[in-house]
Amino acid sequence: MSYLFYLGDYTDQKSNVDAPEAEGIYSFSLSDQGRIDEAPRLLVKTMSPSYFAQSADRRFLYTVEEPTTGAKGAYSVYECQPDHSLKRVSMQTAPGDGLCHISLSPDRKFILGICYMDGTVQVLPLSED
> Which tens digits make up the pLDDT trace of 89-117?
999 998 888 888 999 999 989 999 998 88
pLDDT (mean) for 43-59? 93
Identify the band that residue 63 occupies on the pLDDT scale cut at 50, 70 and 90: very high
d(CA 110, CA 84): 24
Percent of the chain with pLDDT over 90: 50
d(CA 51, CA 75): 10
Give the pLDDT confidence score for residue 16 in this predicted structure: 58
In the predicted model, is pLDDT for residue 77 greater than 60?
yes
Q: What is the mean pLDDT of the chain?
A: 87
Identify the band that residue 20 occupies on the pLDDT scale cut at 50, 70 and 90: low
Identify the band that residue 15 occupies on the pLDDT scale cut at 50, 70 and 90: low
| ∠ CA 22-25-29, rounded to 5° | 110
Higher pLDDT, 7 or 37: 7
In the predicted model, is pLDDT for residue 19 greater than 70?
no
In the predicted model, is pLDDT for residue 13 greater than 80?
no
- Any idea which fold 2-125 has? Methylamine Dehydrogenase; Chain H (2.130.10)
Parallel, antiparallel, or unpaired: how do β-strands 2-7 and 86-93 relate?
unpaired
Each domain of the chain, given as residue ranges in start order, spans 2-125
